[in-house]
Amino acid sequence: MNKTALITGASNGIGYELAKVHASKGDNLVLVARNKSKLDELKSELEDKYKISALTIEKDLSIQGAAKEVYEELKDKSIKIDYLVNNAGFGDFGLFAESDWNKQEKMINLNILALAHFTRLFLPGMISRRSGKILNLASTASFQPGPTMSVYFATKAFVLSFSEAVNNEVKEFGITVTALCPGATLSGFQSAAAMEGSKLLDRKNIPSSREVAEYGYRAMMQGRAVAIHGFRNTLLANSVRFAPRSLVVKMARKVQEKKY
């Protein structure tokens, strides 16, 4: 019997590629995002190619209560979720004192509240079945403060800490929670966060969304608690533990700031 994966933020980037990876493994899909037309295009493509079934749900998860609405719709349709992929999220570039508070609030709602609420809603069913896996999109930003992207880095620190803690709580039931921590990735994230001029994007060989998605899928299936994509990112994420906090913040600012 096919398993079912719920993927948020499935209309582009890593979420879009994760949907393709799951479909290629024979999983049915529940695809959630704001852009219904993109979701429906993806649904048609994957159903035709892999002979799976996909349900698309148009939902702005930055609105409080949206996660519960998705949960109730699936409950009404008697759809159980075997793999929960909390991928949806966005960032914002600039000084916090000059930021648009409405955007910061939506970021917190999406990156933290929706992710935590989905996890709380679907975990009891997984526990009762003693089966299930959760993949939460964290970031290499999870490991240090991030001047010029202060709220985004803080939300990703939450995702990492939350995922590790819940993973510890549920592993006795045969369930795993994986925090996927990619670094800079070729996706629509940078444009949405107004990061085009950031020094962070000067790196060569920035991985594609597909590469990160495939790595994240493998890490989830292996039940890894924390999965940092790439040797360089792993080295940098772990090195901050041994440096003075004041230096870590200064270095993060230097890497993040714009070139002009």
pLDDT, tens digit (0-9, with 9 covering 90-100), for 28-60: 999 999 999 999 999 999 999 999 999 999 999
Calculate mean pLDDT across residues 91-99: 96
First-to-last CA distance in the chain?
Answer: 55
Can you say whether residue 230 is alpha, beta or left, with left for phi > 0 and alpha for psi between -120 and 50 degrees? Answer: left
* pTM, rounded to two decimals: 0.88
Return the active site residues: 152
Ordered strands of the 175-181 beta sheet: 54-58, 28-33, 4-8, 83-86, 132-137, 175-181, 226-228
In tens, the pLDDT along 186-223 reads: 866 555 545 455 455 555 688 999 999 999 999 999 99
- So what's the pLDDT on residue 179? 98
Residue 240 clears pLDDT 70, i.e. is over it: no
Sign of the alpha-carbon dihedral angle for 38, 112, 161, 250: positive
Buried residues in 17-54 as b, exposed as e (16+ CB within 10 A): bbbbbbbeeebbbbbbbeeeebbeebbeebeeebebbb
Strand segments, DSSP code E, in the chain are: 4-8, 28-33, 54-58, 83-86, 132-137, 175-181, 226-228
Calculate mean pLDDT across residues 229-254: 68
92-106, 113-127, 155-169, 234-248: least confidently modelled range: 234-248
> DSSP label at 230?
S
> Domain 4-256, what fold?
Rossmann fold (3.40.50)
Asked if residue 164 lies in contact with residue 187, where contact means CB atoms within 8 angstroms, the answer is no
> How large is the angle between the packed helices 66-76 and 115-129, nearest 10 degrees?
30
Asked if residue 118 lies in contact with residue 8, where contact means CB atoms within 8 angstroms, the answer is yes
| Cβ-proximal residues to 198 (8 Å cutoff; 6+ apart), any chain | 93, 190, 256, 257, 258, 259
Calculate mean pLDDT across residues 229-243: 73
Residue 260 clears pLDDT 50, i.e. is over it: no
Q: How far is CA 137 from CA 14, 86, 88, in A?
A: 9, 6, 8
Residue 99 clears pLDDT 60, i.e. is over it: yes
Sign of the alpha-carbon dihedral angle for 196, 200, 205, 211: negative
4-13, 31-40, 74-83, 140-149: least confidently modelled range: 140-149
Torsion angle in degrees (nearest 10) through CA of 215, 33, 44, 138? 0
List the chain domain ranges.
Answer: 4-256
- So what's the pLDDT on residue 173? 98
Calculate mean pLDDT across residues 169-183: 97
On average, the pLDDT of the chain sits at 90
What whole-number percentage of the chain has pLDDT above 90? 78
Helix (H) or strand (E) holding 209: helix 209-222
- So what's the pLDDT on residue 249? 65
Calculate mean pLDDT across residues 10-29: 98
